[in-house]
Chain A
Amino acid sequence: MTSDSKPYSGDQRDGAPLPAGGPNPPRAPEPEAAAAPVGESLAKDAWRRLTQNRAAMASLGLLIAIIVVCVAGPWLLPWGLAEVDWNAFGTGPTLEGAHYLGTDANGRDLLTRVLYGGRVSLSVALVASFVSLVIGVLYGAISGYLGGRVDNLMMRFVDIMYSLPFMFLVILLMVVFGRNIFLIYAAIGAVEWLDMARIVRGQTLALKRREFIEAAHALGVRDTKIVTRHLIPNAIGPVIIYVTLTVPKVILLESFLSFLGLGVQEPLTSWGVLISEGVDMMESAPWMLLVPSFFLAATLFCLNFLGDGLRDALDPRTR
């Protein structure tokens, strides 16, 4: 080697962004990765970056708290879901009779109902988002990666699914299987993955022309590995953003179905249903609107911050 006589000084400096002046400029910036332990995976690395993001961590904490309260809370409260307190119809928050957040017009404890509703809303959101994530990402990545005729067929199927009226699908399911909360999961899940598939396919089409994918072909990497190791991790940014948008959409969709009488049935409830009941009573009993709204808003708020934090954490370029 002629000009590379010094072993690692190589071309350290070339292309470094706007190096500070001076005859001995600093080397390329050496971030924390230099101190990172050996063989760190992207997931571990991302977790470390996420923990440094205070807003995301606070949101994660609050979200976990909401989930725990919704799951465990109803057991600790003295009132049941459909239990009527004949001494308290539509009373505001009070310690008397342990109605900490008041009762509804039928004398049922609001906090209890909100927590039960949270179980329904959160589980619908979780299941539907998860389904849309898994099916949508895989479907979109495979369709975009294979391209050509396969892509054409797969995306036309998505178009057909899009053109089916959602209400018709739900009613059809009800007729065939009868009323069941799991049908809501199935119906919402069946619709939500379509958008995700389109987004991921678009990303994949752009990514598969990149040289690192070509390099993987030249190395003889199998198609399945190219999709899982190269395509999906690089498409993750828009995917996470979209998931955080899906969750509120799903919660609202569920309350819409319930409103039409196709969703959860009394006495079971959900945040969406409680809010729509609260709107009717807004003037006489504002807490009926405020309490479930607060829970929903806090959840969505946390999800947005967490989504933002995750997107940044999963991209090694941001620090």
Chain B
Amino acid sequence: MTQSLLEIDKLSVTFQLPTGPVTAVKDVSFTIAEGETMALVGESGSGKSVTSTAAMRLLPELAKTTGAIRFNGENLLEVTPKRMRRVRGNDISMIFQEPMTSLNPLHRIGKQIGEVLIRHKQLKGQANRQRVLELLNQVGIPEPERRIDSYPYELSGGQRQRVMIAMALACEPRLLIADEPTTALDVTVQAQILDLLKSLQAEYGMAILFITHDLSIVRHFADHVAVMRYGEVVETGRTREVFDNPRHDYTRMLLDAIPRGRKEPAPADAPVLMSGRDIKVRFALKKRLFGKSEYFEAVRGIDLSIRRGETLGIVGESGSGKSTLGRALLRLLKSEGDIRFEESDISGLDKSSMRPLRSRLQVVFQDPFGSLSPRMTVGDIISEGLKVHHPELNRRQREAEVIAALEEVALDPAMRNRYPHEFSGGQRQRIAIARALILKPELLLLDEPTSALDRSVQVRVIDLLRDLQKKYGLTYLFISHDLSVVRALSDDVMVMKEGRVIEHGSVESIFSNPREPYTQALLKAAFLESEVAA
């Protein structure tokens, strides 16, 4: 057996909150051997990030930690703060989820990486710059001589994450803690970053503690896995064994939480509900009073049509223009080109003539935390549309409608007097669906409705959407970057890139026989084979 590098022994973390103590991590024990990859898996609130933060001793003051975290035999919970500063960055380093915010926007990236070297290796001047260039080269930043003097805003998300990795690797740590390092990235970039981490691991021989909620990454990336729930490790073992033969119910549930099934196709003679021809959307980058303004074309001429009862999936990475297209179709954004809804052209309608149509065209957004006003009760939020479109209803009738809508999305109607912050992500998404449904819409724009949710919650929301579609004959415009969800819900799929449709076809043809290289790359990066096994 190899020497264990990090040993976490009966670690418990309790937060002393004003409302009373909350135990976030309870009796967690696991070990990581030199050079191996350990994945810590769990849904939000499972305590996985708290565990890793405890290992760096970066928890806030009000956290009480018991147990032991032994790094190379030394209990990190007992060492002095000064010693701990030497360990951080030098022996153990960390990369975070958000590449957009974890770099200081005011300093050049070369300086930010170099700072670590000054601190831990006393490497200054030319030698410092030399090493930074070497690191940038290693993490695959093109033209490192030029990029070393770039500011973070000049880099893409994937490149920033590479810079973060370069920073973490600067002192050749023996343990790298990666806290959801790929969650905020597009799937193709995600695959590149994972490859990079793997090759660097081989080169430096470091161990990786990989924290994620994404089981398909774990399957491809980790040697060992520990599954966490409510602050406890429910199952731990070799990745292959845990995946092939899960012992705990929760692990089984997680592995099972994959969107399954296909949508029943809409009747072939269903009429076209909405169609668009040559839709273009552009945003002004610089507006000048005189002279030419500069524009960015987000959507560059798209044709589409959706029949009643059908689901059109729109797939693409960030910046592909898929959300912009959806908003343009609902006339939430200005656009050029024809948009027809039930044969009538709606592209020229102004606000007030659009209003009667609004109840038939509804939308559910991605962010369950941002799409509900924090200062309105759930009942007020859901009934707002009724006040606009059915002003004849009195208060009691509205209340009855709200209750019915909440029951429809499987929420307790008694909750209607509460505020959104008291609900979990999945519940909020149900509230957003109820707000749209209460108006009895015909077309529902679903803009990444499941992306911010945990897998097991996702599956339930997808089931709900599917049931509602069947019950009311709804037509969905489903926007997502998550291919497995799109496959489970759509009839047709449109793949978008840089504002254009690059491939369009039925679900079967796109997923089993993609023509475009870009579509093929997307499918490959999404590790979709995991569903085939299930």
Contact = CB atoms under 8 A, between A and B. Distances in A.
A218 B19 CA distance: 39
A29 B370 CA distance: 21
B359 interface: yes
A6 B396 CA distance: 28
B22 interface: yes
B358 A28 contact: no
B230 A21 contact: yes
Contacts of A216: 384
Contact of A212 (B230, B370, B467): B370
Contacts of A29: 19, 422
B463 A2 contact: yes
B62 interface: no
Contacts, number: 173
A265 to B, nearest CB: 46
A36 B377 CA distance: 12
Interface residues of A, number: 53
Residue from B24, B230, B426 having most chain A Cβ neighbours under 10 A: B230
A33 B375 contact: no
B460 to A, nearest CB: 5
Given A215-B432, A221-B384, A317-B374, A14 B454 contact: yes
A58 interface: no
Contacts of A22: 230
Interface in B449-481: 453-454, 456-457, 459-461, 463-464, 467
A228 B22 CA distance: 39
Interface string A90-115: 00000000000000000000000000
B411 interface: yes
A238 to B, nearest CB: 14
A212 B372 CA distance: 5
A36 B417 contact: yes
Contacts of A25: 230
Contact of A8 (B410, B422, B464): B410
B248 to A, nearest CB: 11
Interface string B1-32: 00000000000000100010011101000000
A293 interface: no
A171 to B, nearest CB: 36
A18 B50 contact: yes
Contacts of A21: 23, 26, 230-232
Contacts of B461: 11
A33 B419 contact: yes
Interface in A1-34: 1-4, 7-8, 10-22, 25, 28-31, 33-34
Chain A binding surface SS class? loop
Contacts of A211: 365-367, 370-371
Contacts of B417: 33, 36-40
A297 interface: no
A1 B471 CA distance: 12
A165 interface: no
Interface stretch (B39-47, B295-303, B498-506): B39-47
Contact of A39 (B47, B389, B399): B399
A15 B454 contact: yes
B354 interface: yes
Contacts of B358: 218-220
B376 A42 contact: yes
Residue from A4, A15, A17, A34 having most chain B Cβ neighbours under 10 A: A15
A175 B50 CA distance: 68
A316 interface: yes
B252 interface: no
Contacts of A10: 410-411, 426-427, 430, 460
Contacts of A54: none
A217 interface: yes
A179 interface: no
A195 B358 CA distance: 37
A14 B44 contact: yes
A28 B418 contact: no
Given A28-B423, A38-B417, A19 B230 contact: yes
18 contacts: A4-B463, A4-B464, A8-B410, A11-B460, A14-B45, A15-B453, A17-B45, A18-B50, A21-B26, A21-B232, A30-B422, A39-B395, A214-B363, A215-B372, A215-B435, A218-B362, A221-B385, A234-B374
Given A220-B388, A315-B375, 8 more contacts: A14-B426, A14-B456, A19-B230, A30-B422, A33-B422, A212-B372, A219-B362, A219-B439
Interface of B: 15, 19, 22-24, 26, 43-45, 47, 50, 230-232, 327, 330, 332, 354-356, 358-359, 361-363, 365-367, 370-377, 379, 384-385, 388-389, 395, 399, 410-412, 414, 417-419, 421-427, 430, 432, 435, 439, 453-454, 456-457, 459-461, 463-464, 467
The 8 closest A-B pairs by CB, nearest first: A220-B358, A11-B426, A211-B371, A15-B424, A316-B419, A15-B425, A219-B385, A21-B26
Interface of A: 1-4, 7-8, 10-22, 25, 28-31, 33-34, 36-40, 42, 210-212, 214-222, 229-230, 233-234, 236, 314-317
